[in-house]
Amino acid sequence: MNTYKTPYIIAEIGCNHKGDMQIAKELIQMAKIFCQVDAVKFQKRHNKELLTEEQYNSPHPNPSNSYGDTYGAHREYLEFDVHQHQELKDFCEEIGIDYSTSVWDVTSAKEIASLHPKFIKIPSACNNNVKMLEWLCNNYDGELHISTGMTTKDEIEDLVQLFKKHNRNKDLVLYNCTSGYPVPFEDVCLLDINLLIEKYGSDVKHIGFSGHHLGIAVDVAAYTLGANVIERHYTLDRTWKGTDHAASLEPMGLRKLSRDLNAVHKALTFKSQDILPIEQVQRDKLKNQKG
């Protein structure tokens, strides 16, 4: 019997659509039909709430990746409004893939919750926004997925306790994550998955893994350690302008990841009998030869 949960694979589109609805829909379609993943995820920011006036009006720290004259203009260019998110969710439902979004502030959380997606993600950068977390616990009844990059163990504990206080811990999916783009293998720290499972496995719904590394071997290892929700950044072209493309998988990489995770899920079983039917044929033919 397979005691491992079925892998649930999320293609993190984020802002890799470059602010273009057609590219966003192409990414969704490719994720469903070619990559065969379970969900796509976007991002929602209310930039004037999230950024100080100085940050909003400053130039982008890496001008070659910028879509505007200031960081604020760059972020606004890449934003879809709530009606566009509804259009993306409708498109996902049409083709049979789950839609979700990361929310970065209370206004965005309220807007996305109004669309009733299956789950909402809270990125590592915002997992200490207690006001937003409490609003979601009280007003949104889907799963809440939270990354733990750049987060201390005490902060993770506080986070889980907040969900327990609101009786929402069974809707919580806690992700092992290292925040970096891309992350070298020695900083992925996969064994932290063991710590999350040991400490919170029975308290939360699932343990997940959000990776910003290169290649797809690490994700298979994360799954075998017990992280059944696997999230990877995804783009149509890793050379496109923007900060996330270089740490993203292209469609063929994501397709192979989906194939490998599902193959490993099937393989993670015990033998149901000493000699399997597939072996019996070989045993009869090979094992009793006269030596």
10-residue stretch averages of pLDDT, the chain, 291 residues long: 87 92 97 98 93 88 84 88 97 98 97 98 97 98 98 98 98 96 94 98 97 95 98 88 80 97 96 94 83 55
Domains with residue ranges and CATH for the chain: 8-287 (3.20.20.70)
Q: What tokens were used for 209?
A: 């893994």
Position 59 scores a pLDDT of 87
Position 241 scores a pLDDT of 66
Residue range 6-42, pLDDT digits in tens: 999 999 999 889 889 999 999 999 999 999 999 999 9
Position 258 scores a pLDDT of 98
- Quick one: how far is CA 206 from the chain centroid? 13
Per residue, what are the HEC states of the chain?
CCCCCCCEEEEEEECCCCCCHHHHHHHHHHHHHCCCCCEEEEEECCHHHHCCHHHHHCCCCCHHHCCCCCHHHHHHHCCCCHHHHHHHHHHHHHHCCEEEEEECCHHHHHHHHCCCCCEEEECHHHCCCHHHHHHHHHHCCCEEEEECCCCCHHHHHHHHHHHHHCCCHHHEEEEEECCCCCCCHHHCCCCHHHHHHHHHCCCCCEEEEEECCCCCHHHHHHHHHCCCEEEEEECCCCCCCCCCHHHCECHHHHHHHHHHHHHHHHHCCCCCCCCCHHHHHHHHHHHCCCC
Position 2 scores a pLDDT of 60
Position 74 scores a pLDDT of 86
Position 13 scores a pLDDT of 95
Q: Give whole-number Cα distances, 290 to 28, 279, 286, in Å.
A: 59, 19, 10
Position 291 scores a pLDDT of 55
Contact 124, 177 (CB under 8 A): yes
User: pTM for this structure?
Assistant: 0.94
